[in-house]
Structure 1
Amino acid sequence: MQVSAQLFNQDSLQLISRQFTFTEGPAVNAKGDIYFTDQPNNQIWKYDTNGNLSLFMDNAGRANGTYFDKHGQLLVCADENNELWCVSKNKKVKVLLSTVDGRKLNGPNDLWVDAKGGIYFTDPYYQRDYWTRKKPEMEGQKVYYLPPGKKVSVRVVAEDVAKPNGIVGSADGKYLYVADIQRNKVYRYSIGKNGDLGDQTQIINQGADGITLDSRGNFYLAGNGVTIFNPEGVKIGHIEVKEPWTSNVCFGGKNHSDLFITASTAVYTIPMQVKGIE
């Protein structure tokens, strides 16, 4: 655990705000601004590189996970109606995906975008109190891929998981990492030329809600605080967050070297000695 001292100082953990109900889905834009969701309040918030916190969007589809595409648009796992959204800078919403073979998804949870613009997303089932349905329409909880382009179809790329949650790709785009929160594992998949996944390999014997990577290939797993593993899957550090649950993590800030942490009713940040890859 000596490596952790080379990455961060626990005493530098700073509370940004505690005014939310449950924070999730942090994403960083090209400037380093962070956007995150307050799902129970149906909102998306923005924390810019100057330290200003502001409400970006109301009626946000019960947004969960988010991610910026290369055009600066915010892709959103809109849990209210189990959809994928694309939100423009002026907050215009385009529904990218609403059903698969006429059935509603379980509830898109987290996502990652490849260099082509294709979207990988996890689809676990968490019963919501704002849904009228009481059981899933889909069989199983899987990982999907929505290729870029107008006339394309979403397809299942991983079904050898129990409850996929956090998801992130490697900097070179060769691998996809999926946190299986039910099996308490993180798996690595090889990404094929057409976006298909193969060669499932367990790399970390711990699950996560959200997950991200730094430029050294270290993994940051959210759950009970933030646990850091090196590329070989060895635990090298832990950021203690004194909240009931830590949902997700994302690098941002002017130099993309600040780690932002969504945790229960709060959002935190901590400066790191390494940059993120997103």
Structure 2
Amino acid sequence: MKNICKIGMIGLVLALVNCQSVNYNKMFYEDVKPERVSDQFSFTEGPSADKEGNVYFTDQPNDKIYYWDWKTNQVIEFLDKTGRANGTHFDKDGYLITCSDDQGEIWKISKDKKVEVILKGFEGKRLNGPNDVWNDSFGGMYFTDPLYERDYWVDFKQELPHKSLYYRDKDGKISKLETFVQPNGIVGSEQFKKLYVSDIDAGKTYVYDVLGEGKLSEKRLFCEMGSDGMTLDKHGNLYLTGDGVHVFDRSGKKIYHIPIPEKWTSNVTFGGEHNDILFITASKSVYTLPTKVKGVK
């Protein structure tokens, strides 16, 4: 009986190991490495895909926004003078929302490049420098506001004594939801009703349940790793950045690592015709990696 139990346990362990192996083999192609698309930038950040699968991203030191055209595999300049845009995300109406931290603002940019400043501060005070943003289906947005004093800021004086997560509703009302050491990357999912926020200086990423419009559960520790940027695939796996791209399953267990030959990997998203191309911003370059999985919508 004991031998049967032992054999059964060994079989279970092997099955679990094989299951884990199959999981990431179903996600990534063997021997396919990230391809550098361009290295013409100073520091790339904030990738987000439009409805056609083209990926927009920022070069903050040069104050520009570019996009990657998946049909031609070319990078094209979209906008100059962006308010030093950092993180970006498309809202449900197709506007590009940017964390334009030069004056502590959030911008809404149309495809024909018309700019509207939709957020300038909180309770009459300048924001530290909005960093990353995620738009929900209600027409609102969650955004992080850490503090990274930029050498191009002129006469900056910190007016808010905290670094926080905020929610701006569809009518423009802003609520402070939580304070962190240094909040950074953020991503959410309507499908899974989750919001993930990285506290990069604390070396942690947290998860919330999304309970309604601007309403979150208490935060829970997701994993002991901070991140500059992040994205989700359709299975709920979370992709974090820093030393390459680290993939975590829904339980917070690390299941895969994608090395990137750059000093720092800042951010990541899915794009392309079928939303299955991982687009990676890393230092002075941008990369693409075909995968077997699609990004979450």
Confirm or deny a common fold (TM above 0.5): yes
TM-score normalised to the size of structure 1?
Answer: 0.95
In the alignment, does 2:58 pair up with 1:40?
no
**Aligned pair partner of 1:22 in 43, 47, 53:** 43
Q: Give, in angstroms, the shift of residue 70 of structure 1.
A: 1.4
Q: How high is the sequence identity, in percent, across the aligned residues? A: 46
| Counterpart position of 1:192 | 211
Deviations 1:222-254 (A, max 9, x none): 111000010011110000001010000000000
**Aligned pair partner of 2:202 in 167, 183, 188:** 183
Which stretches in structure 2 are left out of the alignment for 5+ residues? 1-19
**Aligned pair partner of 2:258 in 239, 246, 267:** 239
| Counterpart position of 1:257 | 276
Q: Secondary structure at the match of 1:182?
A: helix
| Counterpart position of 2:101 | 79
* Farther-moved stretch of structure 1 (173-182 vs 86-95): 173-182
Partners of 1:175 and 1:5 lie apart in 2 by 25
* Farther-moved stretch of structure 1 (228-237 vs 182-191): 182-191
TM-score normalised to the size of structure 2?
Answer: 0.89
Deviations 1:21-57 (A, max 9, x none): 0000001000000000000000000111212321000
In 1, are the aligned partners of 2:36 and 2:285 still within 8 Å (CA)? yes
Aligned pairs for 1:1-278 (under 5 A) are 2=21, 3-9=23-29, 11-50=32-71, 51-149=73-171, 152-159=172-179, 161-172=180-191, 174-278=193-297
In 2, are the aligned partners of 1:18 and 1:265 still within 8 Å (CA)? yes
Which stretches in structure 1 are left out of the alignment for 5+ residues? none
In 1, are the aligned partners of 2:37 and 2:74 still within 8 Å (CA)? no
Q: Give, in angstroms, the shift of residue 184 of structure 1.
A: 0.7
Q: Give, in angstroms, the shift of residue 175 of structure 1.
A: 1.8
Q: CA RMSD in A?
A: 1.4
Structure 1 or 2, whichever has the larger Rg, is 2
Q: Which has the higher helix share?
A: 2
